[in-house]
Structure 1
Amino acid sequence: MNRREVLVGGAMLGAAGLLDRSALAAKSDLVATTTAGKVRGRDAGAGVLCFKGIAYGQDTAQTRFAAPKPPAPWKEIRDASDWGPRSPQISGARSRHEATANPQQGYHLPPDEGPESEDCLHLNVWTPGLRDGKKRPVMFYIHGGAYSNGTANAALYDGTRLAKRGDVVVVTVNHRLNLFGYLYLAQLLPGQGFDDSGNAGQLDLVLALQWVRDNIAEFGGDPSRVMIFGQSGGGAKCATLMAQPPAHGLFHRVISMSGQQVTGAQPNHASDRAKALLKVLGLDTATPEATAKVLRALPTATLQAAAHSGGYYGPVTDGRSLPADPFSPTDPQISSDVPMILGNTHDETRVLIGGSQPALFSLTWDTLPAALEKNAPYLKSDKVSLPVPEVIAKYREWHPEYSASDVFFAVTTDSRSWRGQVIEADRRAADPTAQPHTWVYQLNWKSPVEDGRFGAPHTLDIPLAFDNIAISPGMIGSSDADKAQAQQMADIVSETYIAFARTGNPNNPHAPQWPAFDLNQRATMLFDLPSRIEDDPRSRERLYLGQVPYVQPGT
């Protein structure tokens, strides 16, 4: 070997060493230190780092029907590049209210992903920077699916674009659902450690928010600026957290998207449902200790199979972690100073009900009354009932352009999905502490899928809020023109959410000036192209349907 070969060889070895060191440095740049141990994420592109499946709690098979516990510390660096398990579901991979008759046609969401397991207490983080000293707003998203199904494990909730767009930290979370999270056993099996069983899923969310408080600075986030937001069941969970003392101080803004929780389930009713489920399992309450032992040992699949017998699952006003109903008789006083946005879509039930009953899009004036009798139970109560023929006549008078199907979806949306938001907004507006920082929106922009027949349906605000229209053709359309319009809407909605997360006020240059909601003006943002403010939209419907006392669905 001559001198030139030695020099070249040495240079090559030096370059290889530099490459190795560079690769090691790049790997170390993807490692974050949490209170439980180190995790390695991945580069999500666009200058954003992604950490998926970070454990924030122990395997809940070890804390079944009880409050969660923090994870045991670990010494090795854990991989955080893929989804963690989602909570066991009870009606397949998709939430019942988000499914369509054919999930590959019509209006549909990107699929949920990942295995199911009781070891489901994992969260995901997207951030523009680790340990850089910046104090970015934190946008903490809670998924929908009522309290029975759903997951954060879906491309729809990918936080890359939102984190990049707003220089924010995005967190999404999985937690216990259905009977694993909300089966109330405290009264039936006293003294067995099940005191918190009716709200275990909510306490999972509290633990996740505590994780954010203790760890988010490592991910470039500000623990004093945490915004919780959620759609459908996620919005209801947000409303419930507002009334839970263990969650107080862990979040600082709230957005409820098509999801309200006026009351919790009352303990006696929740106990009756739990008793019915125990009967299906062949268990009784005469021997609490023995029954508790069996419940803790049953396979996950056995409990899933029995879960359908429990009916409604949701938070219980148990006098402990939920001492009072969230929005009854007033707004939750412990959160009255927390800024809040409440929103609904104009045509919620075109997917909520119509997604699984396509015949409802072809109703006639002759078939409409029977369809409403079957699908509009909130027109009736023990004290007041609105006759279906009268309801139809009113809606035809107010909206002469409506078809029979249009009337069906308007009535079911207004009486079922919208009433809870009206009540929550009114009770915030009646509270002098809450009123100055309460805002209300209505999404009017229509999905172009199937020539717009779904209108502005349940879930449509999700891809707009996350700025994820490119991966949501089943929601926002697939043509270039559809995508261009959807992107305009995503610009408006996502920038509004980011502004709210940052300052506690939603006003920003991408939307009209948005006044706070009060009982006189009732100013409402109508998200559309163009967006505009309208005072008291659907006022006739609000006053007419308001004659029927409201009952929180399921409670």
Structure 2
Amino acid sequence: MRSVVTTRHGSLRGTAEGGITAFKGIPYAAPPFGPDRFRLPRPATPWDGVRDARAYGPTVPKAPYAPPFDRLIPEVDIPGEDCLNLNVWTPGLGGSLPVMVWLHGGAFSNGSGSVPGYDGSRFARDGVVCVTVNYRLGADGFLHVSDDTPANLGLLDQIAALAWVRDNITAFGGDPGNVTVFGESAGAMSIGTLLAMPSAAGLFQRAILQSGAAHHALSPASARLVGRHLADLLGVEATAKAIATVPQGRLTEAQQQLRTAISADPDPARWGEAALNLMPFEPVVDGELLPAPPIERIAAGAGAGIDLLVGTNSDEFRLFLVPTGVIGHVNEPMLHATAARYGLDADAAVAVYRAARPDASPGDLLAAIATDWFYRIPAIRLAEARTGQPGTTHLYEFAWQPPTFDGHLGACHATELPFVFDNLHDEAFTPLLGPEPPQQLADAMHAAWVSFATTGDPGWPAYDLQQRPTMRFDIVPEILTDPRAGERALWEGMR
């Protein structure tokens, strides 16, 4: 198999093994440093000769995950400035195969397309050209302190990567007219935003949103509040120019401090929408690149015609409560206060959630309510917003519960990732999933993703408002009709 390919910027040498060729560390934009810091992504500089693309390239600057998440969520840090790069796995350089482009999660402040668990070999094995992307994170990607600084640079990086795919993927055997963008958590929230952005139109034909939808975005006022708090932590003026003078290590450290501060005091007067979202850096509704909140744009027809697969895990929020031990410290007043902060009638909501979980602790009930607020209800709202529009929408729920943490972790945030990629062999996931996660579930889930990217049909009925069919992925997958309808109904008009 040939391991050299020619792109518009120059030739690349990859690694061919087992019928799959991988090309790694391919620059799709110029390094975002020096005069290009806090600027729109510029095209990568062409090169002469054959560039070595056999190893992952640099990752964008970011702080490490805080314990205990550093053990549970695989992360990689590769130094270097040429960090706006991507990776491609292909089963052959000829043909016209479906393409899948992965946008990683990490709360818009962590993550990388170079995490080994995102190795795209199994997608290539199954006839898909797989691409994973690095994009700017934290302040470099999502800072918005004034109107003279471009907002949403991380999203513009993603658009630049998708434009690179459009212009170059044919050389890797991919079809630029059959592109599925897929992502998890902040990656899925990014996709929900890309659906609403005029500048992303036409760059993908299908989208898969895992544990994130179209509700997480900040107003310019909230983004400026966050930016001012960051500047105060750094002891500089609240301008991009001043923040750019801060050493990168100090900036990433301050970003981590900022997230801790929001979690410790989630006061809307201090943080705006970030007080509920608990993420200081998110897409910004700037009125230009993103004209209105993503869910509103989509309900009005943005992204119509794009097929969607959207879903969540059954126990998302337990990732943030069980490993830390916080779940055991939640009491009834804290539970009711949280429900009220989300806009619910606290007494009525707690009663409904408790009726389905009679033995649940206050922490268990808080986890269920927060899971719905952050993840499940936004996914349902996205599916509802698409009703009557061109393009199909399919809904799923991942329900397999690992044995880790004495079985208390549940089907929490990020547990579906190695199943989607069919990478259960990656030992980095063992602390989260345990030593023997079920391969038959990976077979089913991975096959559904491949089928959707290839045909637009993952293998179960499209969503409608009468039956609300939802595929539940567990050891034995099954199609449910309107799961937990009573809890869903609580959020009407609230979320």
Q: Equivalent residues in 2 for 1:193-232 (5 A)?
A: 194=149, 196=150, 198-232=151-185
Alignment partners' CA distance in 2, 1:119 and 1:299? 18
Alignment partners' CA distance in 2, 1:400 and 1:296? 53
Aligned to 2:325: 358
Match of 1:72 among 45, 48, 58: 45
Does residue 31 in structure 1 map to residue 9 in structure 2?
no
Alignment partners' CA distance in 2, 1:461 and 1:180? 29
Report the CA distance shift for 1:210/1:444 in structure 2 as closer, same or farther (over 3 A).
Answer: same
Question: Could you tell me how far 1:80 is from its partner in structure 2?
Answer: 1.1
Q: Equivalent residues in 2 for 1:454-465 (5 A)?
A: 454-465=409-420
Alignment partners' CA distance in 1, 2:367 and 2:491? 15
Question: Could you tell me how far 1:394 is from its partner in structure 2?
Answer: 2.7
Alignment partners' CA distance in 2, 1:328 and 1:349? 25
Report the CA distance shift for 1:371/1:268 in structure 2 as closer, same or farther (over 3 A).
Answer: closer
1:242 and 1:332 in contact (8 A); partners too = no
Alignment partners' CA distance in 1, 2:489 and 2:288? 35
1:248 and 1:335 in contact (8 A); partners too = yes
Question: Could you tell me how far 1:521 is from its partner in structure 2?
Answer: 1.3
Question: Could you tell me how far 1:524 is from its partner in structure 2?
Answer: 0.8
Does residue 452 in structure 1 map to residue 407 in structure 2?
yes
Question: Could you tell me how far 1:393 is from its partner in structure 2?
Answer: 3.0
Query: Deviations for 1:442-476, whole angstroms, at most 9, x for unmatched residues?
Result: 11122233453212111111111100111133343
Match of 2:3, as an amino acid? L
2:98 and 2:178 in contact (8 A); partners too = yes
Alignment partners' CA distance in 2, 1:226 and 1:163? 14
Match of 1:323 among 291, 308, 317: 291
Aligned to 1:420: 378
Q: Equivalent residues in 2 for 1:21-420 (5 A)?
A: 29-43=2-16, 45-61=17-33, 62-90=35-63, 92=64, 94=65, 100=68, 103=71, 108-109=72-73, 111-130=74-93, 132=94, 134-164=95-125, 166-187=126-147, 190=148, 194=149, 196=150, 198-262=151-215, 264-284=217-237, 294-308=242-256, 312-328=280-296, 330-331=298-299, 333-355=301-323, 357-360=324-327, 362=328, 368-372=331-335, 376=338, 379-380=340-341, 384-387=343-346, 389-420=347-378
Aligned residues: CA RMSD = 2.3
Aligned to 1:500: 452
Aligned to 2:425: 470
Which 10-residue stretch deviates more, 398-407 or 466-475? 398-407
Alignment partners' CA distance in 2, 1:230 and 1:304? 23
Question: Could you tell me how far 1:329 is from its partner in structure 2?
Answer: 6.3
Query: Deviations for 1:464-504, whole angstroms, at most 9, x for unmatched residues?
Result: 110011113334321xxx34xx2100111100000110011
1:262 and 1:328 in contact (8 A); partners too = no
Report the CA distance shift for 1:397/1:305 in structure 2 as closer, same or farther (over 3 A).
Answer: closer
1:440 and 1:524 in contact (8 A); partners too = yes
Query: Deviations for 1:321-355, whole angstroms, at most 9, x for unmatched residues?
Result: 21221112653623111000110000111113323
Query: Deviations for 1:57-112, whole angstroms, at most 9, x for unmatched residues?
Result: 1010142112101111111322111111111113x1x3x6xx63682xxxx24x32
The sequence identity of aligned pairs, in percent, is 36
Alignment partners' CA distance in 1, 2:162 and 2:445? 24
Alignment partners' CA distance in 2, 1:403 and 1:263? 28
Report the CA distance shift for 1:296/1:329 in structure 2 as closer, same or farther (over 3 A).
Answer: closer
Report the CA distance shift for 1:505/1:326 in structure 2 as closer, same or farther (over 3 A).
Answer: same
Alignment partners' CA distance in 2, 1:373 and 1:457? 22
2:199 and 2:289 in contact (8 A); partners too = yes
Alignment partners' CA distance in 2, 1:275 and 1:406? 35
SS in 2 for 1:334: coil
Match of 2:447, as an amino acid? E
* TM-score, with structure 2 as normaliser: 0.89
Question: Could you tell me how far 1:261 is from its partner in structure 2?
Answer: 2.7
Question: Could you tell me how far 1:232 is from its partner in structure 2?
Answer: 0.6
Query: Deviations for 1:417-437, whole angstroms, at most 9, x for unmatched residues?
Result: 3222122122112xx124x60
Does residue 433 in structure 1 map to residue 379 in structure 2?
no
2:332 and 2:362 in contact (8 A); partners too = no
Match of 1:144, as an amino acid? G
In structure 2, the gaps of 5 or more residues are 260-279
* TM-score, with structure 1 as normaliser: 0.80
Match of 1:315, as an amino acid? P
Matched pairs, number: 472
Report the CA distance shift for 1:332/1:135 in structure 2 as closer, same or farther (over 3 A).
Answer: farther
SS in 1 for 2:367: helix
Alignment partners' CA distance in 1, 2:195 and 2:481? 27
Question: Could you tell me how far 1:178 is from its partner in structure 2?
Answer: 0.6
1:227 and 1:254 in contact (8 A); partners too = yes
Match of 1:148, as an amino acid? S
Match of 2:431, as an amino acid? G
SS in 1 for 2:175: strand
Alignment partners' CA distance in 2, 1:182 and 1:524? 33
In structure 1, the gaps of 5 or more residues are 1-25, 286-290, 508-513, 551-555
Alignment partners' CA distance in 2, 1:314 and 1:239? 12
Report the CA distance shift for 1:153/1:71 in structure 2 as closer, same or farther (over 3 A).
Answer: same
Aligned to 1:17: none
1:226 and 1:251 in contact (8 A); partners too = yes
Aligned to 2:266: none
Alignment partners' CA distance in 2, 1:419 and 1:476? 25
1:499 and 1:505 in contact (8 A); partners too = yes
Aligned to 1:19: none
Aligned to 1:545: 491
